[in-house]
Amino acid sequence: MELEFESRWHDIHELREKFKIKNKTMKNWMYDKKTGKKKDLKEMGLFKLPDTNYYVANPIIFQKFFNKQLGLNQ
The answer as to whether 5 is a domain residue is no
The answer as to whether 1 is a domain residue is no
The answer as to whether 43 is a domain residue is yes
The answer as to whether 56 is a domain residue is yes
How many alpha carbons fall within 13 Å on the CB side of residue 73? 0
* Average confidence score pLDDT of the chain: 86
Residue 46 has pLDDT above 70, yes or no: yes
Domain count, the chain: 1
For position 47, what pLDDT does the model report? 92
Give pTM, 2 decimals: 0.78
CA distance 48 to 55: 4
Q: 31 lies in which domain range?
A: 10-70
The answer as to whether 23 is a domain residue is yes
The answer as to whether 20 is a domain residue is yes
Q: Mean pLDDT over residues 20-36, rounded?
A: 89
For residues 66 and 22, the answer to whether their CB atoms sit within 8 Å is no
For position 22, what pLDDT does the model report? 94
Query: Residue 66's beta-bridge partner residues?
Result: none
The answer as to whether 2 is a domain residue is no
Instruction: Tell which residue, 20, 24, 21, 14, has the closest CA to residue 54.
Output: 14
31 burial type by CB count under 10 A (0-12 exposed, 13-18 middle, 19+ buried): middle
